Amino acid sequence: FLQVCRSSPERHGDDDMKVTAVLIVCSCLVLRSLGKPQFPEQEKDPRFWNSWAQKTLNNALMLQTLNQNKAKNLIFFLGDGMGVPTVTAARILKGQLKGQSGEETQLEMEKFPFVSLAKTYNTNAQVADSAGTATAFLCGVKANEGTVGVSAAAVRSQCNTTQGNEVKSILSWAKDAGKSVGIVTTTRITHATPSAAYAHSVERDWYSDNEMPAEAVQAGCKDIARQLMENIPNIDVIMGGGRKYMSPKNQSDVEYPDVAKHNGTRKDGRNLVQEWIDRTKDQKGHYVWNKTQLLSLNPSNVDYLLALFEPGDMTYDLERNTETDPSLTEMVDVAIKILKKNPKGFYLLVEGGRIDHGHHEGKAKQALYEAVEMDRAIGRADLMTSIHDTLTVVTADHSHVFSFGGYTVRGNTIFGLAPMLSDVDQKPFTAILYGNGPGYKLVNGVRENVSTVDYQENNYQAQAAVPLTMETHGGEDVAVFAKGPLAHLLHGVQEQNYIPHVMAYASCIGQNREHCSKGSGAPGLRPVLSSIATLLTVILILC
């Protein structure tokens, strides 16, 4: 019946009355289908639900024995813009890609035993951006929007407020402790999230000196690409996009030599990639720019890896050339194989960065496929590490004004129509909608009839309530999923900057390392708590 709706007479130029009649018939067919069970037969039996709940209960009871090991390895997955509605929709999509109805599916992150919420606001913004939030979950302090790796005393775009306000990240803490460290992202490596791991910039958009005002360069502020090479020069693994910010202005790109927009941007004439190659050539350093080169590497012979697969951001997974561009899962696989060689362990930052871009463009299908791919990468990391010595955290920096609803039936394609017409304009609508964004569209002064377009096309822009060139972030809390040593410390509703402090504590890096001297990591807490309890008992007796 959806096909009937989409091939309605309106497409052939008939009048509105015929269109409305066909849509009413379509709506009736949908409503009639609601009476037919659209779920597995076993779900009719209460024993199915009771048995499932009992298994879940037994698993929960086992969590009473908390994992208080020292975290040798730390893995932080950041789904940029992956708010709770995106998580739920990605879960459904994951199931539907496997031929299931989807709602009962479990994402890899949803298998983690501990879940909490993080408050995402920036120091000067109720609804956050990716720079201030990255500073929070990587450097442990909340900051102003648009700034990375600096405290809230720094003012966006004001170069002279940088010095003295720099804050170090957990990646830096891990490196100082002798661990290997890596960054993997689907965006340009100089984008907001990855840059907070190594840079200190009052402007997130200063990717190269080409994007900086002359006065900022003259005042001594450094662009983000330069800081990637200079601030922590021995980052073991760097993977993502962003070649053009590393190359001299107008230098042709190795992959797109005839496309001017992909040429190098650097005004200082430096070739940062070549500088990196020269610096690491005697240290098992390898530079690659395509999938074939990446997968041909023998990780045992690689100590340093710089992999830049696009001039800017990497392509959406739905549009990815699977012959030339690696998936996020493939990048994570290689990164862990290289990093885990260090007997002291590693810290790895992984960003599914283009979930955010899909939402900003109103392209829900792109965003959700990106989220599903990140979940695959989480699954791969799980297979390559142990819950006994690896703390893994999955979260988002912020949400989006993305939603899905409309009383859809069980198993309804996540990109499909709601089973009703609007009782105001008598037109159908998709389950997925945005609060604002580029999907706002009027045809002859009224809302577009979505049955006349291909709303399941990869780049379809879902309808939005308010017209904007780019859809905005959402301000609600985001989920934090955790497993491994001391994962239970990520509990309740916390400030976003709490996350790296927990991870550092679990791994005995950065601040609060006193508990580590009493044994292998967190167990050192027990004598402290025991002493406090003894002291309180004595006080009660004496009083």
What is the C-alpha separation between 302 and 3, in angstroms, rounded? 53
pTM: 0.89
- What CATH number does the domain located at 67-401+475-507 have? 3.40.720.10
Helix H or strand E segment including 261: none
Summarize the annotated binding site for Zn(2+) as residue ranges.
80, 356, 360, 397-398, 473
Looking at residue 40, what is its pLDDT?
Answer: 86
What is the C-alpha separation between 140 and 125, in angstroms, rounded? 17
Going from the C-alpha of 55 to that of each of 47, 59, 64, the distances in angstroms are 12, 6, 15
List of E strands, 167-308: 180-188, 237-241, 285-288, 304-308
* Domain extents in the chain: 67-401+475-507, 417-466
What is the C-alpha separation between 374 and 467, in angstroms, rounded? 30
Which residues are known catalytic residues?
A: 130
Among 300, 299, 280, which residue's Cα sits nearest to residue 235?
280
pLDDT tier at 61 (50, 70, 90 boundaries)?
confident
Summarize the annotated binding site for Mg(2+) as residue ranges.
80, 191, 193, 351
CB atoms within 10 A of CB 36: 7
Look up residue 79 and give its amino acid. G
Torsion on CA atoms 275, 278, 284, 290, rounded to nearest 10: 50
Average pLDDT across the chain, whole number: 91
426 burial class (0-12, 13-18, 19+ CB within 10 angstroms)?
middle
Say yes or no to pLDDT of 7 above 50: no
Give 233's Cβ-side CA count (13 Å radius). Answer: 9
Looking at residue 39, what is its pLDDT?
Answer: 81
Burial 176-208 (b: 16+ CB within 10 A, else e): ebebbbbbbbbbbbbbbbbbbbbbbbbbbbbbb
Say yes or no to pLDDT of 23 above 50: no
Among 181, 165, 224, which residue's Cα sits nearest to residue 504?
181
Q: What is the pLDDT of residues 113-161, one digit of tens each?
A: 999 999 999 999 999 999 999 999 999 999 999 999 999 999 999 999 9
pLDDT tier at 59 (50, 70, 90 boundaries)?
confident
pLDDT tier at 63 (50, 70, 90 boundaries)?
confident
> Is-contact 175 507, C-beta < 8 A?
no
Give 109's Cβ-side CA count (13 Å radius). Answer: 30
Looking at residue 65, what is its pLDDT?
Answer: 84
Looking at residue 519, what is its pLDDT?
Answer: 52
Among positive and negative, which fits the CA dihedral 285, 287, 291, 292?
negative
Looking at residue 506, what is its pLDDT?
Answer: 97
Largest Cα–Cα distance of the chain, in whole Å? 92
What is the C-alpha separation between 134 and 80, in angstroms, rounded? 10
Among 145, 265, 268, which residue's Cα sits nearest to residue 218?
268
Greater confidence, 349 or 29? 349
pLDDT tier at 4 (50, 70, 90 boundaries)?
very low
Burial 366-401 (b: 16+ CB within 10 A, else e): bbbbbbbbbbbbbbbbbebbebebbbbbbbbbbbbb
> Is-contact 226 242, C-beta < 8 A?
no
Q: How far apart are the first and last CA of the chain?
A: 79
pLDDT tier at 367 (50, 70, 90 boundaries)?
very high
284 — alpha (psi -120 to 50), left (phi > 0) or beta?
left
Among 118, 117, 150, which residue's Cα sits nearest to residue 131?
150
Looking at residue 409, what is its pLDDT?
Answer: 96
Q: What is the pLDDT of residues 273-288, one digit of tens each?
A: 999 999 999 999 999 9
Q: What is the pLDDT of residues 418-459, one digit of tens each?
A: 999 999 999 999 999 999 999 999 999 999 999 999 999 999
What is the C-alpha separation between 447 and 241, in angstroms, rounded? 38
The C-alpha angle with vertex 183 and arms to 113 and 324, in degrees rounded to 5, equals 105
Among 73, 61, 141, which residue's Cα sits nearest to residue 521?
73
Looking at residue 533, what is its pLDDT?
Answer: 41
Going from the C-alpha of 365 to that of each of 263, 280, 372, 436, 457, the distances in angstroms are 30, 40, 11, 17, 8
Looking at residue 30, what is its pLDDT?
Answer: 44
Looking at residue 532, what is its pLDDT?
Answer: 41
Q: What is the pLDDT of residues 91-100, one digit of tens each?
A: 999 999 999 9
Summarize the annotated binding site as residue ranges.
80, 191, 193, 351, 356, 360, 397-398, 473
- Mapped to the 3 state alphabet, what secondary structure does 478-505 carry? EEEEEECCCHHHCCCEEECCHHHHHHHH
Q: Which residue has the tokens 């998709």?
A: 430
Among positive and negative, which fits the CA dihedral 490, 495, 499, 501?
negative
Q: Which residue has the tokens 């990869």?
A: 458
Quick check: helix, strand or coil at residue 520?
coil
Among positive and negative, which fits the CA dihedral 53, 55, 56, 60?
positive
